Amino acid sequence: MITAVKGMNDIRPGATEAFLDTRVWDTIFATAAEVFESYGYAHVLLPVVEETALFARAVGEETDIVSKEMYTFEDRGGRSLCLRPEGTAGAVRAYLEHNLSRTNALQRWWYGGPMYRAERPQKGRYRQFYQIGAELLGAPGVPAEVEMLLMLNTLMQRLGLQDFSINVNSLGDAPSREAYRKTLQEYCLQHEAALCESCKRRIHTNPLRVLDCKRESCGAVVENAPDILNSLSTEAMAHFEQMQTMLAARGLKVQRDRRLVRGLDYYTGLIFEFTTTALGAQSAILGGGRYDNLVSEFGGPPTPAVGFAAGVERLALLLAERLNLQQGPQIYLAPVAGAHTAAFVLADALRSVGVQVEVDVSEKALKHQIKRADKLGAEHVLVLGDTEITSQQGKLKHLKTGNEVAVALDATALKNTLLK
Ligand code: AMP
């Protein structure tokens, strides 16, 4: 038997693991679309395949994502392409390719779709996973950052998720970050013996990543490492403080996490993560930050930007417990033999007034049809036979209580009965 590729999931109705149930996913996507659009973000659908060089340059050659997790292949023309591991690089490419920096520099975009990273699969970590994210291009200041965090907080509230904390840090501007990189490198070299093999390598390639190493021994070293805030320029520090003040004024509490660095090289200034204790080791629900240099690194004019991406599987894991998935159609129409045409007419009339209807097409005996309605979690069953069609009268049965109500076979009358 051919099975799905390791680390890639089938998201389907009635999935054994509730977080893979399409109904959970549809709730997440619909809520995200509603919240993002209400903040003025427009939906973009960008390619899943991009040139490998895009991520090598944007995300960084030395990051785990690019150095060991990308699904890279040569196409028939010998070009090196890959399955996108994240959404920001493609968004910046599209922004430049369509000349938006010249015509309409300030853009608010949101997206949702699959991303690919060849990581070791475990709970909350997959090889094909979905992200919903947004990019705000063309806004330099604190308000853009504050607005994005407020929007994310709204999204979490709307999904009914409350058990999370918002962690923030600042990487400062380029000179302050470079100064900190050197300071941290020196510190790590002094404590090299206590670091894990990966961190020993990181000292030379990407010392900031030593800060978020999950090993206890490295954690102990990092505990006393110099704080990046001490390397920030006065301006960068004021920016970071002003952001926290503005958020506090809107009632949003954030925590400074001095070990927060994020695994992508394009960040400058603010970085943030929403984390939870409910997901075990994979505690990050979403992450993002400012990336003021990415557009210019790709040849565009200096364009400040801020963005985030949330993991849909992780949101689904949190949400699955809260949703009632036993939700079938409002009316299950059970036609006896020969009554399908009449059933389709009535079903369409009901749908046109906003009632969800499923017509039985199994052509099995009525008792089987009603069993199926029950299993689906339908609210009501309406049997349609010759008597009902001739009299235009039927009995609407509420499946949970067993109550039956006599009704006219008219869409509006039926809808009104449902509302009672
Ligand atoms: P990143 O693009 O690495 O900043 O990740 C943003 C968010 O995507 C994380 O906070 C996770 O929720 C989610 N995420 C990242 N990698 C994976 C993965 N391999 N499997 C599932 N979710 C992921």
* pLDDT on residue 215: 87
Mean pLDDT for the stretch of residues 7-29: 95
Radius of gyration (C-alpha) of the chain in whole angstroms: 27
Measured from the CB, is residue 308 less than 6 Å from ligand 1? Answer: no
Whole-number Å distance, alpha carbon 117 to ligand 1 midpoint, is 9
Q: Is the beta carbon of 285 within 6 A of some atom in ligand 1?
A: yes
Residue 187, C-beta contacts closer than 8 angstroms, at least 6 positions apart: 225, 226
Q: How far, in Å, from the CA of 201 to the mean position of ligand 1?
A: 23
Give 287 Cα–ligand 1 centroid separation in angstroms. Answer: 8
Contact 81, 49 (CB under 8 A): yes
DSSP 151-202: HHHHHHHHTT----EEEEEE--SHHHHHHHHHHHHHHHHHTGGGS-HHHHHH
pTM to 2 decimals? Answer: 0.91
Structure tokens at 334: 């059970």
Instruction: Decide whether any atom of ligand 1 lies within 6 Å of the 313 Cβ.
Output: yes
Residue 381 pLDDT > 90? yes
Reported as a single tens digit per residue, the pLDDT across 320-337 is 988 877 678 999 999 998
User: Quick one: which atom of ligand 1 is closest to the CA of 314?
Assistant: 12
> Per residue in 110-131, pLDDT tens?
999 999 999 999 999 999 999 9
Half-sphere exposure of 298 (CA within 13 A, CB side): 25
Burial class, 99, CB count within 10 angstroms (exposed 0-12 / middle 13-18 / buried 19+) = exposed
CB 197 within 8 A of CB 210: no
286 lines ligand 1 (CB under 6 A): yes
d(C-alpha 98, C-alpha 182), whole Å: 38
| Spatial contact of 207 and 307, defined as CB atoms under 8 Å apart | no
- The whole-number pLDDT of residue 326 equals 66
**Residue 168 pLDDT > 90:** yes
CA 49-96-263 angle, to 5 degrees, is: 60
Task: Give the C-alpha separation, 367 to 336, whole Å.
Answer: 11
141-159 pLDDT, tens digit each: 999 999 999 999 999 999 9
Over residues 29-37, the mean pLDDT reads 98
The pLDDT mean for the chain works out to 94
Amino acid at 124: G
Please state, in angstroms and rounded to a whole number, the distance separating the CA atoms of residues 200 and 73: 30
Cα–Cα dist 93/82, whole Å: 15
Atom 9 of ligand 1, nearest CA residue = 286
Q: Tens digit of pLDDT for each residue in 87-113? A: 999 999 999 999 998 888 899 999 999
Choosing from 155, 262, 272, 282 the residue with most ligand 1 atoms within 8 A of its CB, the one to mutate for a pocket test is: 282
CB of 164 shorter than 6 A to ligand 1: no
Helix axis angle for 22-38 and 142-158, nearest 10°, is 140
**How many angstroms separate the alpha carbon of residue 190 from the centre of ligand 1?**
32
2, HSE (Cβ side, Cα atoms, 13 Å): 0
Q: Strand, helix or coil at 395?
A: strand
